[in-house]
Amino acid sequence: MYPVQSSPSDDFLFVGMNRKPRRSSVEFAIDQDLPLRLYGPRWHNHPIAASRVLAERIANEELQNYYALAGCVLNDHWDDMRREGFISNRVFDVLACGVPLISDDVAGLPKDLQEWINIYSDSNSFAQCVDAVRHESDERRATRRAFAEYMREHHSFDTRAIQIEEMAFRIRA
């Protein structure tokens, strides 16, 4: 995952399946009539979202391009993930692409990431996140893109695997 040089887009991207309970980020985006691009399975029975689905799947090797060219990516977590601090991979991937991210609040979110995530808890705070993304300064955008390099150095899959391996060796010793 990495940034690409492009003009900022005004679209909001969500990649993920429809499920119960509802996907709050998608519901709030629809309620606010945002230009939503929706990819994922199980949306065909959703009365409003079905017409916004562009495809049921994006190949993993293509996902980076979708994230990197989005105006903003939306994210939410399963209830148990949010409570227990299991952070969606999407958070790390999107930040590594240097793109604005709107996400629900999740326990255990690393402090070094918090500044770069627009966090919502309800429809009002979601609207505030959308406003912040839409009014982001060029300076903030450039700084966020520079932060993407930090993400790739400190929060990549490979970095995490090394940390897990080191921890396992310490525990074993």
44 vs 167: which has the higher pLDDT: 44
pLDDT at site 47: 83
Confirm whether 4 is domain-assigned: no
CATH number at residue 148: 3.40.50.2000
Confirm whether 69 is domain-assigned: yes
Q: pLDDT digits over 20-64, tens only?
A: 778 999 999 999 999 999 999 999 888 888 889 999 999 999 998
State the average pLDDT over residues 162-168.
77
Confirm whether 3 is domain-assigned: no
CA dist., res. 91 & res. 157, Å (int)? 12
Cβ contacts of 36-44, under 8 Å, gap ≥ 24: 36/11, 36/12, 36/74, 37/11, 37/12, 37/13, 37/70, 38/14, 39/13, 39/14, 39/15, 39/66, 40/14, 40/15, 40/16, 41/17, 42/17, 42/18, 43/17, 43/18
**Which domain range does residue 54 map to?**
12-172
SS3 content of the chain, % helix, strand, coil (to 5): 50, 15, 35
Indicate whether 3 pLDDT > 70.
no
CA dist., res. 52 & res. 71, Å (int)? 16
Q: pLDDT digits over 67-94, tens only?
A: 999 999 999 998 888 888 888 889 999 9
Confirm whether 97 is domain-assigned: yes
